[in-house]
Every structure is written in C-alpha cells, then in structure tokens.
Structure 1
Amino acid sequence: MTHLRHGRPHRIHGWGLVKAPGARFAQRRYMRLIHYTLTVFDGPDEDTDLVLCEQILVGAQVSSVNRRREIVIRFPNDRLTVQLRTEKEYQAWDRAFRDGSRVADNYYKLVPSRKLGAGAFSSVFFGFDSDDGDHVAIKVVDKTRCSRAELVFAESEARMMAYVRHPFIVQCRDIFDAPHAMHVVMEYMSGSTLEQRMLARPPAERPFSETIAATVMARILSSLAYLEAERICHRDVKPENILLSTTQNDDLWPTSARLSDFGLAAFIDTDFDLTDIVGTPNYVAPEVISRDELNNERVGYGSPVDAWAVGILLFWMLTGGKLPFDGPDSGAIFKAVRAAELDLEVAPWPSISSGAKSLLKGLLHPNPRIRLRSTAARMHPWLLCAQEVHSATHHAHAYTNSHQRGMVLGVKKRVRAAVRAIMAYNLFLQLVNKQVIREQETVRSERLRKHGIAKKASLGEKMQRAPERAPAGADGLGYNVGLFPSFVPKRRARAGPLSSSQKKESNVSSGFSTTGSDHSRSLPTRVSGESGSSAGSLTRGGEKQVSIDRSSVGSKSSTKSGSWGFKLRGRGTDKGS
C-alpha cells in the first residue's frame, strides 16, 4: 500500500500516555486503531479489559509536538492527547492518526452526474484529483445498504487493490474509510469493457482476429502470472472485468486491456486452500464445484482456476461471444463444466490456427495439476508469433495512416526543425557580426599606430585614467580640487648660477648636503620676493632660511624682466610670471 498517494488505512496497537476526553490527568493506557476507529483500553486484553473511550478520527484535526513526542487529536467538542515513549512509536502513531482522519473530499472531487457503473451496494463515479486534475474513477461503497458479509468482501477488495501493482492491472490510487461509506479511488479507464467492445460490432464481425486475441491474452496472462507469484487468486476473470482505454489509433485498443474487480480475490498459501463456491458459473473451473468421492468433501482449489477462466475467455474472443460450457441454468452449466468436453470441430475452429487450439486445450484441461499455468501460458509460441504479427501490422498501418492524414506528425517535426534552424542561423549571424566588428577595430588600431596617430580617448577611458579626488591642499601640487589637472605644466624657469658661499649656505639651511650620493631627492620649497625688492627670501615651512641677492642672478634672466619673482610649486610644476 505504499504507492497510495494520500496515506492508507492502518491497524496498529500499543501502549501510550493518554489523556482521554474528560480526564484530568494523563495515564498509561492501551490503544488500538483500526482504519479510523481509535479504542482506548485499560489493559492489553481487548476481550476482558475495560473500554475507556472510542473515537472516530474521520474529520478530526491532528497536530503533534516533536520535542515532547506528543500527539493532540482535536474533535468538534473535545480533544485527546497521546504521548509516546520512543521516537519510533511516535512516528508510527502520528502517521496512523493522520491517515485515519483523512476525508476524500479534501483530495478528490466527485462528479455525481457522471455515473460510470452501479452495483447492489456500490456505485462508481467519475472524478478528478484536486491537486493535478488527473481523471479518476471513485467507487463509493454504501455501508448502510450492505450486509456484514458484503462489507467484508468490499473491504477485502479495497485491501487487495491497494496491495497489487502491475501495469496490466487497474491501479488503486487511494482508499478513504468512514463510518457510513468507503471511497476507493481507482485509475480512470476512458474506454469500455471487453464485452461492450465485442457487442458494439455487427454480429458477423464479432469474432476477434487471432492477433487481437493474442494481444489481449498476453496482457491478461501477464497480470495473472504476477498475481500467482504474489499468492493471490482472482477468481473472477471474465470479459466484464477487463477494461479498455481509448487511443488515438482505434486499432491499438487491445494494448490497453487491464484486469480489474478484485471483489472475490483472496490470498492463498497453496493451490488447495480455497473451498467456497464463488465466481460466474460459465467461468468456474471444475475443481471449484467438485467433491471428493471418498468423504464427499469439497476439493480445494487455487491459482489454476484463473488459468481455466482465461481459457474460457480465449474461446469467447475467437468465436465472437460463444461459451464452451453453457446451459439454460446454473445446474446445466455446472454439469457441462464437470464433463469438460471441448468440441473444436465446428465453425469457426477449422479456420483457426493450430497454435491457438494448442493453447486453448492446455488452459481448459480438467485436471488442475496438468493444466497449463499462467506463468507458462504467457510464453506459448502462438502468443509470441501473434504479437509480432500484430506489431508489424500496426507499424505498417500507422505508416499508411500517416500518409493518408498528410503526415501530420512528420509536418510537426519538420516545422520544429525549421524553427530551430532559423534560430541557429540568427545566432550565427550575431556571432559573425561581432567577429567582423572586432576585426575591423583591430585593423583600424593597427593603422593608427603605424601612422603615429594617437587614438582619441573616449570619456570612459579618461574616467579610468583619471586620478581619484585630490586631498585637501592638493592645489599646492598643481591640481584643482577636482578630477583633472587644471593646467598643462610649462618648462621650469632656470635661475642664474649661485656662488659657492650661497650654495653652501643654502644646503646647510635646508638640511641636505651636496656631497651625498642622493642628489635626486628634493624637498618642496618656495621662494618669495617682492616685485620691487632687491633681494628675495627663500623660505621653508614659513621660516626664512637664506636671502638671494638679485645681482647674483645671471644677466640673461635679469635682463628679460625688470622686476621678477617666481614660486616653486612642487616637483617641477612651477609657473613663472
């Protein structure tokens, strides 16, 4: 049942610290949960111990506190608290309580106007999943209208469908159990049953071809082989319980056949465990209705009865609805079944292949120990050859239909390929254009460099080369308080040669010696002088260090300007006036 989408019914029991509705304190109690009914006992003996409370979990709100391993179940008028001892017990009970409180309406929407089928105490409706919108078939079992035995069969069918999982069996998606009704959510088969498919044909065309019969048989035998391996006996294989789905190509309907209806299915340990007479009379095997000649007791049966029913199904498909053992009433039918006389000399059997007859005789052998089992029957040569013929016929027919329909699938593929080709071509053009532009830029830059023409810098390049904002006082170094230099520096004005005494005095006052090895090191200085004065003063740090006589400056500099003065502005960026 692990494949059910929204939980499953549980059967769990054990000890827990329970605070029942109306109790003041929590006490150690024994709990038992069956599907949706929680019963709290005074002790572990369910037959003799006192029942303290019994609650229906359907629709209740379940919350949990992981830190304390506590589960709180809130009912409309009260609540129940359960505290578990270990983490494993807490996880198991929390899951069981949550699954027991589920309601089908919270997960699926049922359409009452679309009834797919009806029985004595159940009805099947069309519905869809509230999460993803998938179509489903919802079987509603009305518990108020069925007897105790019928309810046991309904619960057994739900439990069996939740257990099996095979591609050729109608799958059960969810089970919701409640006091008044049980909802079994199954896979929706959009087609009809195998019986309705045959009856929809004209009487002359009702017999199925061997390829169609072999395709259906292969799928049903595969599902029965799976059930036999799981030790399950279906006991109700017939055309009404084989469902079909609609396909785009109507010739492929045999490939959609699936087995359904597990109302009579039962688990077995051996091939002689079952003794009750159940099933449809025309499809019942001889051992089901036989008795032992010595003690007049019923003979047990098992999985071989399903192989017998599949043999009846094969006879029914190849003859267009006829049955090998039939009569006016169930007594006459059972008599013909016990005799098991199979007549294959009448029409249409002379025109049917020997392989089909061989398989039919193996499946309808009256002795269950000699009868062909489902596991071996699915490997019969006739089934394999017929399926290969059907596959080849299907491919040829599909090829012909594709041409007759204008090759719709081929046109779609070609359109998709053309769209992808156009997209790839546009991308290719973009890449080519980028490469051409890149090559043109390279050729242009080479030409400019060859002719000695500097490439004009763009604004972005200027911004990248521009220094950061100058700090305070940077105008003394020749920059404005901005991003770019405020002027183009001119050549530094040369002063006249100094006398040896002046040089020595200047070096001593400035703190440097001309005899040292580092002559390139200089300190920013400023020479200030008045316009009409005969001597200027060389200052450093605002203090007067040395006086320069105007007459000691070279004549070339003095004759160029009658009265002059200059300021040294740091590192060769002075400006003369």
Structure 2
Amino acid sequence: MTAVTTKRHMRHGEPARAAGIIRTRLKPLGRWALYYVSLKGPLITFSDDEQSVPFLEVDILDWRVTSTSRKGCFVVKVSHLAHCISLYFVDEAAFKFWVPSLENATSRKIDDHYRSIRIIARGESSSVIEGEDMETGAKVAIKVIDRDMCSPALFAFVENEVQILAHVNHPQIINLADVYETPRFLFLVMGYAAGGDLETLLESRSTFTHKEIYLILRQILRALDYLHQRDFVHRDVKPGNVLLDSTEPLICRLADLGFAACLKTKILNAVLGTVQFMAPEMVKKESYGCTVDIWAVGVIAFRLLLGRFPFEGSESDILRRIRGGIGNIFDDDLSRLPKAAQSFIRSLLQVDPEKRLTALGALHHRFLYKPAVEPYSFRFRAVALAVVMAVKLGMLYRNESHQKQDLADVEGYSEFSVTTSRVFTPRKVRRSSMSSKLFVESLDACPRHYSSVSATELTRPSHDNPGRSTDLLMGAGRRELRSSWDRAFVFRRRRSNRSIG
C-alpha cells in the first residue's frame, strides 16, 4: 500500500510562487496590456503567454508593495525609485493571493534568519556553508547554488531535490528547513551533520564492530523504506550520501536526493549514480524500481563487513562484473563471515530484482533483526546476552512492561523487536548454566572475527560498578572464571525462591 505524502512547512515560510495572465502596466505612464506574469522568489518575469520566452525579468527584492481597491477594481503597485509595475485585477480572490506573495518576494531574505559561520565545501557551481539559526541558535548547513554556473540539466536536479525534500519528513533523511532565492543564487537551508559522511569514516577506518554495522545499515534501510512506501527511488545511495549527525553514537541521515524520482510519474530507465553502486538492471538500461537502492545497500554492507568493494577494476570491468552478479566468485571472502551475514549480502546482491529483498524485508533479515551485543557496562552486557540466549530457549515473558524496560536498559536496543511471544525476562531468572555451544551460537549477532568484543571483554566486571548485586549478575563479577566457556555465564538471584514468572 502506498503511503500518503503531505508537504512540509518551511521554518520561515515558503518562497513566493505565483503565475497567471494579468493586465499589467510596466511603466508609470505606460499602456495596460495582458501579459503572462510569473513570480519565483524575488524574480518576476513577463511574457506574451505561458509558452513564450520572458521578455522582461525584474528583481523586486526590497521593492515597495502598495495595494488599492475601489468599486470592484483591485490594483497592486510594486515600486522602487523611478520604477513602478502595476497589476490590475478584477477578481478579488486573485488580488488577495498576489498581494502577500509580492510582499513575501520583496522582503524575504536569508540574512534576516540565518548567520553564516564558515565555508564547509566549495564546488564549481555550489558551496556549502555552516550557519546558525538566529532564533534558536541551532546549527544548519546552507547549500548555495549559483544559477550562472549551473547547467540547465544540473539545476533541474537541484529543483527536483527541493520538490522531493519538501514532501519528506523522516529522522533518517536530511531535512530541508528553508529555501531562499535571488535572481542568481538559490539557498537551501538543511540539517547540519557534524560527523561528516560515511565515505570519510570508511576511508579513515578499516574495521567496524557489529553494533556499528547494525546501526548504519538499519538507519539507511529505514530511510529507504520510508521513501519506497511513497514510491520514491533514491538512485544514488552510496556512503558519500550518508551523512553522520554524530559518530558516538552513530546517527545517519540519507542525503542528496537530486537523482530521486517518483515511480508514479514516469518509467525509470536512466543510468545515474556512481558506477560501483549501480544495480544490474540499471547497467543494462532496463526499466527499474526501488530495488536499485537495495543493491546499493548490499554494496555498502559488503564494504563495511569486508573492507572493500565487491566489484573492482576499470569502469568497463566493474560494469561487466555487475551484470553477472556475485555468483560464487566471493565464496572465499564471504565464508569468513557468519552465515547470517552471508545470507544478508547474497539477498541484497541478487542479479534478479524480483528475488532481491525489499527495504522492509532487509530490516527483518536475521542479520539485522538481532540486537548488537556490545553494551558498555557490565550489567548491560549480562542483560543483553541473556535476552539473546533466552529468545533461543523460548522462555516466557509474563509482564510486557518488564520486556520493554529490559530492552530500554540496553544501549542501542531500541531497534530490537522480538517476533515471538515466548521471550525470557531477565528480571525473573533462576540459576542456570549455558553450554559452550549455545553460548557461541547466541553470539552470532556479534561474530568476534570482525567485532572488537572478545570473550574476555564480555566477561570482565565493569570498573564503574564492580561486584554490584543486581537481579541479574554474572558469576564472573564475583569470582574468577574457569577456562571453560560452560561456566562463563552463571545467573544468580537474590532469593532462592525466585522463579520464572
């Protein structure tokens, strides 16, 4: 079912937009004539009809707007020094629409609401400035596009991004707060990402913990699921377009929707984006849909897990290999990963888009459906591991509020949704011992060969809370562990008569 999309309101009002056939006088003593008048921001243009090229363009920023109405006649004057443009209306509704639009166009300036701090990045046709909201003090990123330096095709992508972002509102997608225009420049005020982008993080680090991979992929997939439910295809999913609000903890936002398109309005078959992330159907110039984004997520996941791209070489070699898919050529590489990770990668990098997972399906894959087992305190480690192991054992939750409390106690577990009603509550537990086989299986959500979590680290008491008695306390906190994993986790209770609820 397609979700309903509503337009978001800008923080400081919308840019002026109006158009229509209006009786106009372009000079104080000139003649009245019917012209097609278009208002976009502070720029007002005049042409003979809607299809004609404008013969006059005027920047009315800081001009004065006056209006008069007398006996069913409505006149709006826009004047500056010796220049005066008059618009004559016989329809009161049109008059009431144009007056505030012209007042907005003449007075709305970015300097009245935002203060620039420094230039973050600069390109040939655009630059990004770190700014500050004068009302709230919040940091923003201001993208400045120079119309004179932009090709018509490139500027069309910018306008496309503005239109889509105006209808998008999701915590994992960069937000568009305001839009300002001048005849030459377009200013897009967007959310500020203090942590840079994922590409920079990938270049600076060679390995990632399972918790980090879990958080990154889930946030990207949640953003794509939101877009796909509204029939939008991003078409340029890559680490460079994943911005990081912060790195501790990792908070990601999908950005750069210039190539995005709506499946409702046209058939998609254009080849767009970065070569390494293109799906086979796009490379073959076939019609495609939302599954091209899922392929790109598969490439990101491959790189996060193995530290390189699945397809490397010259551009022609990459395109040829993409058409063939991963097949069996990466068996040696994938074999180093746990089975859940192998299944996840192969499900995303399916050559046949019909067999490829959807964003929602990927979120429910067992590789991402388990919590990341790397909490930062001793008690949290015990609770986290107990939940994972007890789900496998099929123990019962008697009180649903206990389940929510326990999951909320564990940092990073807000993503974890339990699919079965038979779930164990760590708040009511009896003494038990887990076999080494069961313990290792319970950690398949956090494989040690690419995670920084080790057996020693998981069983070490926390320094901030050594030996504290709680409802759930590992035996390792009270005594030294024996060498066997069979005695790694021994759950103690305060009262001997406590039992499973």
TM band (smaller chain): 0.5 to 0.7
| Matches for 1:111-510 after TM superposition, within 5 Å | 111=117, 114-201=118-205, 206-246=206-246, 250=248, 252-253=249-250, 256-269=251-264, 273-290=267-284, 298-320=285-307, 322-327=308-313, 329-342=314-327, 343-347=329-333, 349-386=334-371, 395=409
Quote the offset at 1:333 in angstroms: 0.7
Summarize deviations over 1:244-275 as a string: whole Å, max 9, x none.
1236xx3x22xx111111222222228x8122
| SS at 1:39 equivalent | strand
Return the letter of the residue paired with 1:57. Answer: I
| SS at 1:381 equivalent | coil
Task: Tell me the distance in 1 between the aligned counterparts of 2:355 and 2:89.
Answer: 55
Task: Tell me the distance in 2 between the aligned counterparts of 1:199 and 1:85.
Answer: 63
1:31 corresponding residue in structure 2: 37
Distance change in 2, residues 1:397/1:105 (3 Å): closer
Task: Tell me the distance in 2 between the aligned counterparts of 1:25 and 1:269.
Answer: 46
Task: Tell me the distance in 1 between the aligned counterparts of 2:372 and 2:103.
Answer: 47
CA contact (8 A) 1:59 1:103 kept: no
1:6 corresponding residue in structure 2: 12
Distance change in 2, residues 1:22/1:174 (3 Å): same
What TM-score does the superposition give when structure 2 sets the normalisation length? 0.67
Structure 1: any 5+ residue segments left out of the alignment?
291-297, 405-577
Task: Tell me the distance in 2 between the aligned counterparts of 1:61 and 1:268.
Answer: 43
| SS at 1:386 equivalent | coil
Return the letter of the residue paired with 2:332. Answer: V
| Matches for 1:44-83 after TM superposition, within 5 Å | 45-47=49-51, 53-64=56-67, 70-83=75-88
Quote the offset at 1:27 in angstroms: 5.9
CA contact (8 A) 2:24 2:88 kept: yes
Distance change in 2, residues 1:277/1:41 (3 Å): closer
Summarize deviations over 1:357-386 as a string: whole Å, max 9, x none.
222212111111221121322232332213
Distance change in 2, residues 1:229/1:23 (3 Å): farther
CA contact (8 A) 2:348 2:357 kept: yes
What TM-score does the superposition give when structure 1 sets the normalisation length? 0.59
CA contact (8 A) 2:326 2:349 kept: no
CA contact (8 A) 1:57 1:100 kept: yes
Task: Tell me the distance in 1 between the aligned counterparts of 2:67 and 2:200.
Answer: 51
Quote the offset at 1:305 in angstroms: 0.7
| SS at 1:82 equivalent | strand
| Bigger share in helix | 1
Task: Tell me the distance in 2 between the aligned counterparts of 1:55 and 1:355.
Answer: 62
Task: Tell me the distance in 2 between the aligned counterparts of 1:22 and 1:223.
Answer: 54
Task: Tell me the distance in 2 between the aligned counterparts of 1:352 and 1:150.
Answer: 41
Task: Tell me the distance in 1 between the aligned counterparts of 2:93 and 2:368.
Answer: 50
| SS at 2:145 equivalent | strand
CA contact (8 A) 1:209 1:318 kept: no
Task: Tell me the distance in 2 between the aligned counterparts of 1:30 and 1:144.
Answer: 24
CA contact (8 A) 1:304 1:371 kept: yes
Task: Tell me the distance in 1 between the aligned counterparts of 2:464 and 2:162.
Answer: 43
What do you get for the CA RMSD once the two structures are aligned? 3.2
| SS at 1:212 equivalent | helix
Structure number with bigger Rg? 1
The structure, 1 or 2, with the larger RCO (C-alpha pairs under 8 Å, 6+ apart) is: 2
2:395 corresponding residue in structure 1: none
Task: Tell me the distance in 2 between the aligned counterparts of 1:66 and 1:228.
Answer: 49
Identity of aligned residues (%): 29
Return the letter of the residue paired with 2:261. Answer: A
1:104 corresponding residue in structure 2: 110
| SS at 1:337 equivalent | helix
| SS at 1:312 equivalent | helix
Task: Tell me the distance in 2 between the aligned counterparts of 1:403 and 1:92.
Answer: 65
Distance change in 2, residues 1:143/1:358 (3 Å): same
Quote the offset at 1:400 in angstroms: 5.5
| Matches for 1:532-571 after TM superposition, within 5 Å | none
